[in-house]
Amino acid sequence: MSALILVAEDQTDIRELLVMNLRAAGYEVEAVADGPAALASQKERASDLLVLDLMMPGLDGLEVCKALRAQGRSTPILMLTAKSTELDRVLGLELGADDYLTKPFSLAELLARVKALLRRADLLRAAQANVGGEGRILRNGELEIQPAKRQVRFRGTAIDFTALEFDLLLHFASHPGHVFSRAQLLDAVWGYSHEGYEHTVTTHINRLRNKLEVDPMRPELILTVRGAGYKMRDEP
């Protein structure tokens, strides 16, 4: 069964193109032209993913996002925005969007993001379904990861991570000693590889180090390999 995607975009041309290409990629697609219609459609039939334009008449993308999250829905949301601002991104992600794309974007990129969001939603569902079981446990020195529960313990204490931070840490921990470039990490963890977003990887590695290293400036767990990328140290 293919995933159902709702596209809410007020500009007819772009909406049409999105629908056309998402269908061609094998998804089932529903399209609306404004915010209220998007909410109404979700009431009728929940989709697996929403592609929302930020600027729409009636209710804008952020408000739709807020309304859906208020109803307790965790449907992944990809926000399309014409403003390329850090502020918008922060705002969007804080209000519950899972990812965003700045116009003008390429279709390949949009499709990659959609795929990544759907995959992550699947993984999350699987993890939630698995809450009862212990599953396997990854260990590296004092670091202990329970992928099924999405739990991390370091030196015996539980540490909170955001979804992306956890995914990145899990990826490193699953391949100790293996060196990844930022582009590879972007591809493997974020699910897309696109020029200009590598700094996101840097920022997330920074955050992991701040949570897991004694001196984040002299890391011992997540190491830098000059001219190649990053790796987690081999299990001691």
> Is 21 one of the binding residues for other proteins (CB under 8 A)?
yes
Q: Note whether 221 and 207 are within 8 A (CB).
A: no
Q: Which is nearer to other proteins, 131 or 228 (CB)?
A: 228
Q: How far is CA 21 from the centre of its chain?
A: 21
Q: Which amino acid is at 226?
A: R
Q: Which is nearer to other proteins, 32 or 54 (CB)?
A: 54
Among candidate residues 219, 131, 235, the one with its CA nearest the CA of residue 175: 235
User: CA separation (Å) from 105 to 14, 20, 144, 195, 232?
Assistant: 11, 16, 39, 12, 33
Single out the residue of 26, 104, 133, 156 in contact with other proteins (rule: CB under 8 A).
104
| Rounded Cα gap, residues 196 and 183, in angstroms | 10
Select the residue interacting with other proteins from 2, 57, 83, 94 (CB under 8 A).
83
Q: Which of 71, 162, 174, 224 binds other proteins (CB under 8 A)?
A: 224
174 binds other proteins (CB under 8 A): no
The nearest distance, CB 63 to other proteins, in angstroms, is 19
Residues in contact with other proteins by CB under 8 A are: 11, 13-14, 17-18, 20-21, 24, 82-87, 102-108, 181-183, 195, 198-200, 202-203, 206, 216-217, 224, 226-229
